[in-house]
Structure 1
Amino acid sequence: MQYRLLECTSAACLQGRCEWRGKVLTCPTTHRMTVYEAGRHWSDAASPRRVKLTRQQKKYCGELAAQRVKPVRVRNALRVQFGLQGESVPRLLSIQNFVHYYSKTQLGCNDDHDEVVKIVREMAYQDGADDFRPITFTDFKTPDGLLHVGDGSDEEPFVAGITTRALL
């Protein structure tokens, strides 16, 4: 059995020491869980809900993400654009998650393979190079004589190494 002990992290209970405790027992073979509780919460009030991005805010964040604006600046722009103050401003983590997800799914910012291949080929071994200059190598070369770097699939695994002549 695996034990996990829990304690209250509710924002409503922050004023005093909350008596509530929890324990989760998990069986590693059957993945069956049992939850036990002890004590009462210091406050009966529910924790405040996190502010979520509205559709208009998501659209505006998407426009800024298309311009490659950093999430911190997106958050500040949201504050100005929609007149948000204090607790009504979405958390930075929410905006970061949205911007990165939007960039990967809508803008195609999810593939650096071409840049990595370019770097690996530029740093290939050359005769007479400095002993401490980084050099790259792969398992074989293409018919053109360039280093072959796979795409990471099962058929073409990504294989590349880096070292210096001094380490060889």
Structure 2
Amino acid sequence: MWIALFFIVFLLIVLYMLLTPIVVTINTEKGQYEIRLQGVVKASIEEHVKEILRIKLKIFLWTFYFYPLKGIHSNTKKKKTGRKPRKKNNKRFSFRKIIAVLRSFKIKHLVLDIDTGDNVFNAKLYPLVGFLNYNTEAFNINFEDRNQLVLQMYCRPIHIIKSFINQ
């Protein structure tokens, strides 16, 4: 009886994880870069005083910090051996699979506000932006030295798995 109950609870948790959306948020104005699995996991990139950046990982109620650039040293030298390592021919992640996974994400909110710094080039980009804004008002050219990207997209893990299987 306990095994069946444990199995049903485990199946419900897996089903919840497969159907809960993954939300990717990028907001350059606020400095917000995060990936969330609603209600389960949240990973965000933050600035840090000593290190350049840190990754904040929040799982349920626990919070962890990782410093990805901490272990990188430019002075380390590798030992050279007599034999050259053989190159493996791994084609697990083909270009088509990567494109299929990216196409499984749906854009919920997009705002792109750019200034190239060259007024003439900004003026040349104006017709292109007008064409891109035919259906949406997501793109903008400004002459005020302001660059901003706000992007929020989501996807369910089941769609990512499905795109891997179908390719």
TM-score, structure 1 normalization: 0.18
| Larger relative strand fraction | 2
Larger Rg computed on CA atoms = 1
Greater RCO (CA < 8 Å, at least 6 residues apart): 2
